[in-house]
Amino acid sequence: MTNRPSPPIAMLAELTHRCPLSCSYCSNPLELTDRTRELTTETWIDVLGQAASLGVLQLHLSGGEPASRRDLEVLVKAARDVGLYVNLITSGIGLTTARLDALEAAGLDHLQLSLQATTADKADWIGGYKGGFARKLVLAEEVRQRGIPLTVNAVMHRHTIDDVGAAIDFAATLGARRIEVACVQFYGWALANRDALLPSRIQVTQAKDTVAKARRAYAGRITIDFVPPDYYADYPKACMGGWGSTGINVTPDGTVLPCHAAATIPGLVFDRVTEKPLSAIWHDGSAFQAFRGHEWMQEPCRNCARRDQDHGGCRCQAMALAGDAAATDPVCRHAPSRPAIDEILAQQVAVSPSFVYRSNKREKTSSVNIAAR
């Protein structure tokens, strides 16, 4: 690469891995970072300033549950002070009225509320937290009354995708201007739980139909972003808009990643904000340089007409399913490893296995107590 990369537009700041929920599709790594290794308030404030100087416009405060950090309000204020657009990605658990007051005063721009399911039984089962849904509803109503700009993020998988219409109605009732109905992507915990989470082709087709109807019904009222599972696609997603091109992730201990799952690729060396300036990491860090441009590509990507459209798809998925991070994303119908995906789809089981809930010990499981498809 001789071209200097454009600055990143968005930063995902994973403030903590701590979370009251333990969803089986959590995007955090299987090895969770302990609280004692989390960055200090001062370091985060410095990182936010560096991010704005580098060109970041959008800050996504995430986790774990970012409200688990007591200094969340301080960080929101620091981010606004340097001009960042501050989006809080939350389950809503732990956000009291007093904390919402403080977040609004600090200048929070937008809140993204996760929705595990539209009924208490199912949501609490999926999140592994009894009473969580009731607490979420209280928070959601509070957010509605205050007029905090809201996106509902309804996570879709085998057990929730048939309720997509209800999820959209739910978001509309809350006054959300936007709903994301994104199917679980299979990395980390979700990959470990894939048999319990992957929807069937019929479910996906029906959901697309429901979303199309809802888009007509709610036109001008709520924007619906629907992301079907890529296993059923013919071409891969343009993951992260291209590696090291638009997004930058900082983990709870300050490790800087090109995407949240990048650490699953062996051989990549990641820099930390405690050791190097963010700008140097973005421009020259070896992990960021690894899959920029085209030189790393293999056939059929290298000479494919779509190579600048989908950038070869997802490197982490290539690693996970083809065993080679530089391979074509196995989702692509031209990928040599596409049969691996077809095999997974062909082997879907009639009864969902139990979830392996996210935990530090990786042993907590629970039997399926909702009628499985």
Nearer to other proteins, 88 or 356 (CB): 88
Kindly state the smallest distance separating residue 151's Cβ from other proteins, in Å: 5
Kindly state the smallest distance separating residue 222's Cβ from other proteins, in Å: 7
Residue type, 367: S
Kindly state the smallest distance separating residue 1's Cβ from other proteins, in Å: 20
Site for other proteins, rule CB under 8 A = 7, 9-10, 53-55, 57-58, 60, 83, 85, 87, 109-110, 112, 147-149, 151, 177-178, 219-223
Nearer to other proteins, 41 or 246 (CB): 246
Nearer to other proteins, 220 or 266 (CB): 220
The vertex-111 CA angle with 148 and 131, nearest 5°, equals 100
Burial class of residue 23 in the structure, from the number of CB atoms within 10 Å of its CB (0-12 exposed, 13-18 middle, 19+ buried): buried
Cβ contacts of residue 366 below 8 Å, gap of 6+? 125, 128, 354, 355, 357
Using CA atoms, how far residue 341 sits from 198, 200, 318, in Å, is 12, 13, 11
323 and 313 in contact (C-beta within 8 Å)? no
Nearer to other proteins, 53 or 298 (CB): 53
Nearer to other proteins, 219 or 370 (CB): 219
Nearer to other proteins, 81 or 195 (CB): 81
Nearer to other proteins, 221 or 333 (CB): 221
264 and 188 in contact (C-beta within 8 Å)? yes
Query: Could you give the CA distance from residue 54 to residue 52 in angstroms, rounded to a whole number?
Result: 5
Kindly state the smallest distance separating residue 137's Cβ from other proteins, in Å: 21
Kindly state the smallest distance separating residue 221's Cβ from other proteins, in Å: 7
Kindly state the smallest distance separating residue 112's Cβ from other proteins, in Å: 7
For 125, the token pair is: 């089962």
Residue type, 47: V
Kindly state the smallest distance separating residue 334's Cβ from other proteins, in Å: 30
Using CA atoms, how far residue 238 sits from 194, 251, 298, 306, in Å, is 22, 22, 16, 10
Q: Tell me the backbone φ, ψ of residue 129, rounded to 5 degrees.
A: -145, 105
